[in-house]
Copies of this chain bind each other. A is one copy, B any other.
Amino acid sequence: MSRPEALSPARLKDAAPLFAALGDATRLGLLVSLCASGPLTVTRLSGQFDVSRQAITKHLDVLAEAGLVTSARQGRERIWTFEPKRLEDAHQYLARLSREWDVALGRLKAFVED
């Protein structure tokens, strides 16, 4: 049994695609737009970037695959919405790694003072 906070290889395999999705300036920009302006369509979004609408569509697909956005068809247009849940996941990974480091530092300190 491993602690629920442990950083198992399985967790890493889940975390990697999530961070990879965040690892692009255009995609981060899309998230910021969706955060600040609320749900938007592709054409509205692509107006704010200097790449084609299809490029933005691909980026949104990547974000959706990572669970960072969702979309719903409404008539002839598709509305894209920011999904804060997965962001919380990413935050958790970082916190766990950081905690792991602190624990290691504690061990080192105890060893040196011994």
Residues of chain A at the chain B interface (Cβ within 8 Å): 7, 9, 12-13, 15-25, 28-29, 31-32, 35-38, 82, 84, 87-88, 90-91, 94-95, 97-98, 100-101, 104, 108
A20 CB contacts on chain B under 8 angstroms? 19-20, 23-24
A97 to B83, CA, bound (A): 11
Q: Which of A31, A36, A91, A97 has the most CB of B within 10 A?
A: A97
Interface of A is mostly: helix
A12 CB contacts on chain B under 8 angstroms? 25, 28-29, 32
A–B pairs, 23, beta carbons within 8 Å: A7-B32, A12-B25, A12-B29, A12-B32, A13-B25, A17-B23, A19-B20, A19-B28, A20-B23, A20-B24, A31-B97, A32-B97, A35-B97, A35-B100, A35-B104, A36-B100, A82-B101, A84-B101, A87-B94, A88-B98, A91-B91, A91-B95, A91-B98
